[in-house]
Structure 1
């Protein structure tokens, strides 16, 4: 018997600098704000965002511990965003001072991708998806 998982509901991230992270995800990446809540008991914000058909929860805490971010650390490796035109997406990020790695080709799927980081150093990926994959999601 399985737990009948039907999909991923959300991904949650903790930020050390809430205003900077909020600006990055809303203004730079274009996420839609679903709800923004000040949590008095925790002295922190919770920001619910929509990116396409995915939900991202952004949490702030007064002094979160640093997270090791080397590529093969146990836990979340990176967060990948599907894009329709990776060249356009990289140019848009570059115009805002965000450095992206050179675009590479996934040897298994032959799709183009690149990595960059959010303000807290979380590894983020842009992954160019074919029209047939996007329409079926």
Structure 2
């Protein structure tokens, strides 16, 4: 089986692979953490948007930013910065929602690919 691609237009695992320094265990653990935390934070952001809770929205966006950066999701990370700024400066919820859905559209396929990469690395392929 050919090794799965570790980057595409939405993510790049170069930094993570460099830090892992050949350790599949570290890579798998990092991906597992991302697979748990990212959907939780995206759900918190979604809920905060529905409730128009700027405090939770800003905190959740702030927490998600470094995760996205660590996984080379720089466009999504930049959009989270925008979401956080809009939230703190009384930006329009419609604009925030639009950016949220764009980020969600980038994250979903990345989560699926990361699951495949994790499974491949766990199997030692």
Task: From the CA coordinates, give the structure whose radius of gyration is larger.
Answer: 1
Structure number with the bigger relative contact order (C-alpha 8 A, sep ≥ 6) is 2
TM-score under structure 2 normalisation? 0.29
- Say which structure is richer in strand: 1
- Say which structure is richer in helix: 2
